[in-house]
């Protein structure tokens, strides 16, 4: 196990064949997926209560633990543990798996030991807490299997290698927060503790409302209290006294809130109510411009730069691999040609004798074949000769008609191809797209009946014209050449959707809601203009090319959402039990809400 077992031993070779067997990887992936489903089905209860479903899931956890332990053991035997290249623990993903398995085994042993002592278990939920929370990270393991996908590999390497530049940007952001927090201390300290109170017997008694905002005295700029109320100090401040500039810690928290632009506008309004317009506007506007728009966007610049570098490296690796394969193929071909040349040079005299021996036989072959043919033709009757002449005349006339038809077809296709590529056809399609957009935009609520009829008629006419355009392109270019273009496929989909909508509307086969959904296909006709607008077409092509990278980012985001949702269920599930909560949506009590 510690690189002491030779690699050629039967046990190690068997383990290597098992862990590198494709069905074994599929089984592990399905087990990971089932484990995530089990974690998602688990419902946390208050006070560590449980039910039958949770108890069954706790038993299933032992099965998952056994499978993951066997997987780790087989990989340790196959690859070794640590002390040589390509060992099990030298891979980051394997190290994560090993830690999760060890924590799971430790938790299971501790739980069984506690039960054996007669004491209460560490809790059905508490016993598996560490195991479940860490095992949720096993959903990241499929990322190793998609490392061959260039886009995902580029994204992962870009994020990892961007950590050092991102650390520098984080220090810059911290510096900006500290500077603005110190300025806020000097300008706004203690300004958020005055609000409006009702007067009871001439004394301030009750707040106007719980969601009050700061106020200013009559002699100062800011918000003045309405009649019957008075501005007095003693208020904790907005958000229960958290949002203020009374000390350095709260000032940094408030500045960070403004930089993230989540509630920063409210802080500006509160400070404006307390002091007036001048200083708060200058302070917060400059903070948002410099902190949010400039400094935080440096993160995107760093990620974009690293992504470009990794994409170039991936392209260079691909080109190098292709060049290496080409050179290997050329070397193999050269060796094969050398082998053939050497084989031909072994005995050239025998080769000449073989050629001389075969020559008479080859020269006599046509004579025998001719004689055979003549022998077969002897004895043919006059009737057979006449039928052959009729068939020959029919074939000649048919070939003339075929040549005429092919010539006429080529002529028509050339004319149609020239018409399709002409400027007149270009502007005609643009005009039809404009009319289609105008027809769709003219729809409104409670429109007159005549307008509805005009819109339906216009839609049918435009659909017929777009169908004629599609058929004309198919005829002029040919079906194979037509469907090579991605835009032509998109155009065909739009036209077929419009035809389907018209058929369903006329036959009244679908409900009005379904017909309304199909009518949304008409909106896609607007994108026909991208075919004829080069700059817009290039932009759409760039977006389509970036879909693969975006899909990789969405996959990472989805994994993080699942991981932290499951972790939130383990940490905070069943903890939000307050009588004053009318709707329990922002909780971690189940997987959908988490």
Class of domain 164-193+236-300: mainly alpha
Spacing of C-alpha 293 from chain mean position: 26
Instruction: Please tell me the predicted confidence (pLDDT) of residue 135.
Output: 53
* pLDDT(252) > 90: yes
| pTM score, whole prediction | 0.59
Counting every residue, how long is the chain?
594
The fold adopted by the segment(s) 422-532 is 1.20.120
Confidence of residue 255 (pLDDT cuts 50, 70, 90): very high
Instruction: Please tell me the predicted confidence (pLDDT) of residue 230.
Output: 82
For 391, how many CA atoms within 13 A lie in the half-sphere containing its CB? 6
Indicate the DSSP class of residue 366: H
Average pLDDT over residues 64-84: 82
* pLDDT(366) > 50: no
Average pLDDT over residues 36-42: 80
Instruction: Please tell me the predicted confidence (pLDDT) of residue 398.
Output: 62
Confidence of residue 587 (pLDDT cuts 50, 70, 90): confident
Per the structure block, which two tokens stand in for 505?
A: 């509307």
Name the pairing type of β-strands 229-233 and 203-207.
unpaired
540-584 residue pLDDT tens: 777 777 776 677 778 777 877 887 787 777 777 777 766 665 556
Q: Is 262 annotated as a binding residue?
A: yes
Q: Do the domains spanning 164-193+236-300 and 422-532 agree at the CATH topology level? A: no
Instruction: Please tell me the predicted confidence (pLDDT) of residue 248.
Output: 92
* pLDDT(123) > 50: no
Instruction: Please tell me the predicted confidence (pLDDT) of residue 286.
Output: 92
Instruction: Please tell me the predicted confidence (pLDDT) of residue 557.
Output: 78
Helix (H) or strand (E) holding 463: helix 449-477
Helix segments in 136-263, DSSP class H: 142-145, 150-161, 163-188, 238-241, 248-259
Domain ranges, ordered by start, for the chain: 1-145+536-571, 164-193+236-300, 422-532
Q: Name the least confident of 296-310, 311-325, 507-521.
A: 507-521
- Rounded Cα distance between 189 and 245, Å, is 5
Average pLDDT over residues 111-123: 58
What percent of the chain is predicted at pLDDT more than 70? 73
The DSSP code sequence of 377-439 is HTT--HHHHHHHHHHHHHHHHHHHHHHHHHHHHHHHHHHHHHHHTSHHHHHHHHHHHHHHHHH
- Rounded Cα distance between 287 and 290, Å, is 5
Instruction: Please tell me the predicted confidence (pLDDT) of residue 392.
Output: 56
The fold adopted by the segment(s) 1-145+536-571 is 1.20.120
Q: Which of 176-190, 333-347, 378-392 has the highest mean pLDDT?
A: 176-190
Instruction: Please tell me the predicted confidence (pLDDT) of residue 130.
Output: 47
Instruction: Please tell me the predicted confidence (pLDDT) of residue 253.
Output: 92
């Amino acid at each position: 196990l510690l690189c002491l077992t030779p690699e050629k031993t039967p046990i190690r070779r068997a383990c290597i064949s098992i862990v590198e067997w494709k069905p074994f990887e599929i089984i592990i992936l399905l087990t990971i997926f089932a484990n995530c489903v089990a974690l998602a089905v688990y419902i946390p209860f208050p006070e560590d209560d449980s039910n039958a479903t949770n108890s069954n899931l706790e038993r299933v956890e032992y099965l998952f633990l056994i499978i993951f332990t066997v997987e780790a053991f087989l990989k340790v035997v196959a690859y070794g543990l640590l002390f040589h290249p390509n060992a099990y623990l030298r891979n980051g993903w394997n190290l994560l798996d090993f830690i999760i398995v060890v924590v799971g085994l430790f938790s299971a042993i501790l739980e069984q030991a506690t039960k054996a002592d007669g004491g209460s278990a560490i809790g059905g939920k508490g016993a598996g807490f560490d195991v479940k929370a860490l095992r949720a990270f096993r959903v990241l393991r499929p990322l190793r299997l998609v490392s061959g996908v260039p886009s995902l590999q580029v994204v992962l390497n870009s994020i990892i290698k961007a950590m050092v530049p991102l650390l520098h940007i984080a220090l810059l952001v911290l510096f900006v927060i500290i500077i603005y927090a110190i300025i806020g201390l000097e300008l706004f300290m203690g300004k958020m503790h005055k609000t409006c109170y009702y007067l009871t017997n001439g004394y301030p008694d009750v707040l106007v409302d719980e969601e009050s905002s700061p106020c200013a005295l009559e002699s100062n700029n800011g918000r003045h209290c309405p009649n019957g109320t008075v501005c007095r100090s003693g208020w904790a401040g907005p958000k229960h006294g958290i949002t203020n500039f009374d000390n350095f810690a709260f000032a940094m928290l408030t500045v960070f809130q403004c930089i993230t632009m989540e509630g920063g506008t409210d802080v500006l309004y509160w400070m404006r109510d307390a002091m007036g317009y001048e200083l708060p506007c200058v302070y917060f506007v400059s903070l948002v411009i410099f902190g949010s728009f400039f400094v935080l966007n440096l993160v995107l610049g760093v990620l974009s730069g690293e992504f470009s570098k990794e994409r170039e490296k991936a392209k260079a690796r691909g080109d190098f691999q292709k060049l290496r394969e080409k050179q290997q193929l050329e070397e193999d071909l050269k060796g094969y040609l050398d082998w053939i040349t050497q084989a031909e040079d072994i005995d050239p005299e025998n080769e000449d004798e073989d050629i001389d021996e075969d020559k008479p036989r080859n020269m006599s072959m046509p004579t025998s074949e001719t004689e055979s043919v003549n022998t077969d033709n002897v004895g043919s009757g006059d009737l057979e000769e006449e039928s052959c002449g009729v068939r020959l005349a029919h074939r000649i006339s048919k070939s003339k008609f075929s040549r005429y038809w092919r010539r006429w077809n080529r002529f028509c296709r050339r004319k149609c191809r020239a018409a399709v590529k002409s400027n007149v056809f270009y502007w005609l399609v643009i005009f039809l797209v404009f009319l289609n957009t105008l027809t769709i935009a003219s729809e409104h609520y409670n429109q007159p009946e005549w307008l509805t009829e005009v819109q339906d008629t216009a839609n049918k006419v435009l659909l017929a014209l777009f169908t004629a355009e599609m058929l004309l392109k198919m005829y002029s270019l040919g079906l194979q050449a037509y469907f090579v273009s991605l835009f032509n496929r998109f155009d065909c989909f739009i036209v077929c959707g419009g035809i389907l909508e018209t058929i369903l509307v006329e036959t009244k086969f679908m409900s009005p809601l379904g017909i309304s959904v199909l009518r949304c296909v008409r909106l896609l006709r607007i994108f026909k203009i991208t075919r004829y607008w080069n700059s817009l077409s290039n932009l759409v092509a760039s977006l389509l090319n970036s879909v693969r990278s975006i899909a990789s980012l969405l996959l990472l985001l989805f994994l993080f959402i699942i991981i932290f949702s499951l972790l939130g269920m383990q940490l905070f599930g069943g903890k939000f039990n307050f009588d004053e909560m009318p709707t329990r949506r922002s909780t971690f009590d189940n997987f959908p809400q988490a």
